Structure 1
């Protein structure tokens, strides 16, 4: 599938189809059935209960008919109080059985639903974690959340509650038809004309409903995605004063959702009134034919009363089909989207015989590497660079010219378009992702902390470390002067995504985390840009210690942080235009020298723009 459909950009669902490299699967029954295997016994119990409840329901009109024909007695005959008493007890028993069985049905259906939905959520969560970084770069977070949350919830009526309820409705329809035939075939024949009309209407309703609720689910995902993006970027929205514009966009998305919801309701809302019309027509026929049967003495009053109950039991499922098929259509649309996500394969996977490397020396080689996030536009062009083990290499250059992309390629978040990246002579595509990430540590400008304390976040890098070991690492790195001044020291809660810490404090936690990981290769991508000047100076020595004994690649705008690097590479338009130590590059009086002089004058951005 191309990036463009004709001359228009891809919609969100078309983009998901492109990432999955397959179209939305409309026939998903064969994929849903295996999900029920762990709870088949409980679903069988629910099914049996529904069947028993159906027979309990049919006991009521039978008891009422007996009371009318035999208990009350004809004119001049004595009322049979004993029979009426037993019939009342029987009716009470049927009601009690209905409530008790209904409770058991809810229990078994509920536990089955929890088991199945949790399994689906676990599969979706595990699969999302396996997907490559490129998927998240191109997919809105809200759409992923919608798949794992709302869409999964909508599967319950489709998988657990719906089938037994559908079976109950069909049984009530069939049994009532048989009993009507037994009492008076003409009553059933009067209703027979309803059935073909119902079948045709049901087929049409299912087709229209599935399409309509598919659009509703898609539009719901869109405004959910926008909500998630707003929460993540609320500071930027406030700073830019874009609250009203952002609200207007959200309202447009809500309008699209409401419009699709209304259209779906309008297109499928005819089904319930239509079945109501069939019910009214059926009752009218029964009363006319039944009244004539009483007049001709071919039908008793009790049998007519039973027949009226059976007509309701015959026609009520017709109205229930409306709700059942609507839930099935909604659940099917959500299931299609969930399976589309599960069908999306990670772009970056281990080779069949991937090597699991132990501790590396840390030599890095970029050999004639080219790469582009989009086929039409490259970012890195035939780049060759050798970094010796234990060397500290700094990379500078304008924003968007490929500095951070090299980090993405080195950590294999993306694969090169051509050429190769080597670690200690091993093509990283032949190395297992786990051992690659274990040997290459990265500290980004925008690092993430997880909910918990500072110690909890440090322990992510070294799960078995004691509190004292974690604290000692922070002191060795020089981060203690800042972290120990927090309200509860290392026990301070960082808040969601580290929101209760300043950006500089978050960055220090990430630096300590990288120090604890003790990787052979360390990448610092703008790692000190969020740290104020005084804090930066305080940890310069610690950063030098952090780089000792390992290969370090430092990407920074603050040239003061890289002047002590062994070599400095200047990248422009995805190519290395200068390479050497700080004194060498300054002596060449080229791009780096201009950049450094501008930095001294406090105008590094202007120098970057001029490269």
Structure 2
């Protein structure tokens, strides 16, 4: 089967893939929230469950790494105390007073060992977590890919390609980044916070109380600034979206803009949006950035209080100077895990929202499964029969009502009618992209619901107006029509499609690599390749969407000849756009509002003087444009 679909690319969505924040990460930014945080979180944990042992190892190593790191200031304080005591003895002119450098050297060796051990544990935890994260998202991508292959066409028709791509790529990447980085950072931040608090209490409960008294002020300032900055960040994202949309629109339609002389208007509009973005952007960044100096001011107040009170305690010999030094180091480190935890909580909230968007795909209703006794038609002849078929996209909006058509093997059936008449719907129903609501469709006397979908679709070949060619060689694109096709069969199909000549004029011939948009060959050449692909597939039934409207006359002749060769001895459904191309069809179906309002040969329909006759005459006599839409 040769299926053609239009390739669409989408700019990176708003979910994942973008920056995570300013100077303090996402602090002050409105994080995307999950609709069901608890349920989505539990479901994400389900993907982590098979790796729970490794996660426990990561937790253990993260705790050990942090503990060894936290112990360092306290041990360093002992060296400072020993150095201070020796100097004080010398200042008092105590006989034989010396500084015990051996003790200090031992302390330094111990510190070096602690830092090395902490680094090793951190390396191991990151190594294990990288594997856990990548294996988890590997499973998620596999499940999503398998799910997408089982979803009906209805799902893809009701959503933009950009949204689906964003969920499959950006949202899963967001989950991977959080698992690999933010999760271990959260563990480290929490352990660091608790560890520092415990170490501070062991040094001096009074100093700890003085230091903690300043923290509520930090929290109030952070909350006040963050609440104000959120609305600016929300406004910034809104205006940025408008700017991106304007730029994309202007650059994709730059020829039209130049043709109508609207450059100045476009530039003026860009300037207006850009100024709006500047106004809201600098406010957002200023409000986010002001948190740092404000917190530094408050922390310095606490630092001064701790230093003064600690100095008094040293004079009174309540604690040693090394302990004061260690306490000051701990107080300097205390706010970092708090800010880090706040940022990570925001990131995790956004990550669960990403996971929820992925799970929404996994929860979509799949195609009706093939029955256990589904049949295969070994040698399809191509007889197609539609009996009282009913179908509607929306429950309360009927589209096709009691449609009955009988097509014999080898016949060419043309389907014409205005836009929205149901021509494309008919194709979708024949290939079971959509399930009918009533009646029956048979191929060679077998209900298509009793045939395996893959087997049914292999009976059909499609050549659509919107060509689909993938990034690969011309040989591979033609060979896509049938697995295991030989070189000779590929060339024979290309010759039949009148594509061999132009292929051989290319520098690399059949090895020529088509880029992602296949823009290195013309539209007509693309169409000839898709016809060659369909010829190689050798289907019993063809569905053709005339594709000669955007090619030159000479190429149109080649395409018409290729289509005639392709249709030979095959049942063919031709969605006709130009009525001049279907005069020789065995049967012409004229559709309107989902029903066949006329049917017969070209001459019979002209003789009836009905809708088809009016449509045909309008195309060849410059009639009303509205009547020409087919």
Task: Please tell me the TM-score bracket, short chain as reference.
Answer: 0.7 to 0.9
Change (3 A) 1:179 1:591: closer
Contact 1:223 1:253 in 2 (8 A): yes
Please state how far the C-alpha of 1:260 moved relative to its aligned partner: 9.4
Q: Take 2:292 and 2:281, find their aligned partners in 1: how far apart are those partners? A: 17
Residue 44 of structure 2: aligned partner? 32
Alignment of 1:202-221 (within 5 A): none
Q: Secondary structure at the match of 2:406?
A: strand
**Alpha-carbon distance change, 610 to 56 in structure 1, aligned in 2, over 3 angstroms:** closer
The counterpart of 1:570, out of the listed 565, 568, 590, is 590
* Secondary structure of residue in 1 paired with 2:348: helix
Deviations, residues 390-430 of structure 1 (Å, cap 9, x unaligned): 32111122233222221122222233344443333444344
In structure 2, what is the Cα distance between the partners aligned to 1:178 and 1:562?
86
**Is the 1:396–1:556 Cα contact (8 Å) retained in structure 2?**
yes
> Which secondary structure does the structure 1 equivalent of 2:596 belong to?
strand
Alignment pair present for 1:53 and 2:73: no
Please give the TM-score of this superposition, normalised by the length of structure 2. Answer: 0.79
- In 2, Cα distance between equivalents of 1:544 and 1:387: 18
CA gap of 1:606–1:327, structure 2 versus 1, over 3 A, is closer
For residues 225 and 145 of structure 1, do their structure 2 counterparts lie closer, same or farther at Cα, with a shift above 3 Å needed? farther
Is the 1:379–1:574 contact (alpha carbons within 8 Å) kept by the matching residues of 2?
yes
Indicate which of 173, 185, 189 corresponds to 1:153.
Answer: 173
Q: Quick one: distance in 1 between partners of 2:169 and 2:263?
A: 27
The offset of 1:506, in angstroms, is 1.0
Work out whether residues 206 and 326 of structure 1, in 8 Å CA contact, stay in contact via their aligned partners in 2. no
2:108 to 71, 88, 91: 88
Q: 1:405 aligns with which of 425, 433, 450?
A: 425
**Cα distance change on mapping 1:43 and 1:342 into 2, 3 Å:** same
Q: 1:473 Cα shift?
A: 1.6
1:126-525 map, 5 Å = 126-191=146-211, 193=213, 276=296, 279-280=299-300, 282-346=302-366, 348-353=367-372, 355-359=374-378, 360-374=380-394, 377-525=397-545
Q: What is the distance in 2 between the residues matched to 1:469 and 1:106?
A: 52
Q: 1:606 to 1:176 in 2, by over 3 A?
A: closer
Relative to the length of structure 1, the TM-score reads 0.81
Within 5 Å, which residues of 2 pair with 1:66-81?
66-72=78-84, 73=86, 74-76=88-90, 77-81=97-101
Partner of 1:63: 75
1:142–1:221 contact (8 Å) kept in structure 2 = no
The structure-2 alpha-carbon separation of the partners of 1:277 and 1:456, relative to structure 1 and needing over 3 Å to count, comes to same
Q: 1:215 to 1:334 in 2, by over 3 A?
A: farther
Which has the higher mean CA deviation after the structures are superposed, 283-292 or 440-449? 283-292
Unpaired segments of 5 or more residues in structure 2? Answer: 1-12, 15-33, 91-96
Change (3 A) 1:425 1:199: farther
Aligned to 2:23: none
What RMSD over aligned residues (CA atoms) do the two structures have, in Å?
A: 4.3
Render the CA deviation track for 1:512-537: whole Å, top value 9, x for unaligned: 11112222221112244455444444
SS in 1 for 2:462: strand
> Where do 1:548-559 residues align within 5 Å?
548-559=568-579
Give the superposition deviation at 1:336.
2.9
Give the conservation status (yes or no) of the 8 Å contact 1:483–1:489: yes
Match of 1:608 in 2: 627
SS at match of 2:598: strand
Give the drift of 1:544.
3.7
Whole-angstrom CA distance in 2 between matches of 1:251 and 1:222 = 12
Change (3 A) 1:331 1:414: same
**Aligned 8 A contact 1:394 1:562 in 2:** yes
Mean CA deviation greater in 446-455 or 116-125: 116-125
Q: Secondary structure at the match of 2:590?
A: strand
| Larger mean Cα displacement after TM superposition, 127-136 or 170-179 | 127-136
Conservation of the 8 A alpha-carbon contact between 1:271 and 1:322: no
2:463–2:544 CA contact under 8 A, matched in 1: yes
- Shift of residue 254, structure 1, vs aligned partner: 9.1
Q: Deviations over 1:366-404 (max 9, x none)?
A: 333344445565443432222223321111222332222
Q: Deviations over 1:8-44 (max 9, x none)?
A: xxxx99xxxxxxxxx9433321122133346555544
SS at match of 1:422: strand
Between 263-272 and 474-483, report the one with greater CA deviation. Answer: 263-272
2:231, 2:360 → 1: CA distance?
17
**CA displacement at 1:471 relative to structure 2:** 0.6
Deviation of 1:609 (Å): 4.1
Worse overlay, 144-153 or 549-558: 144-153
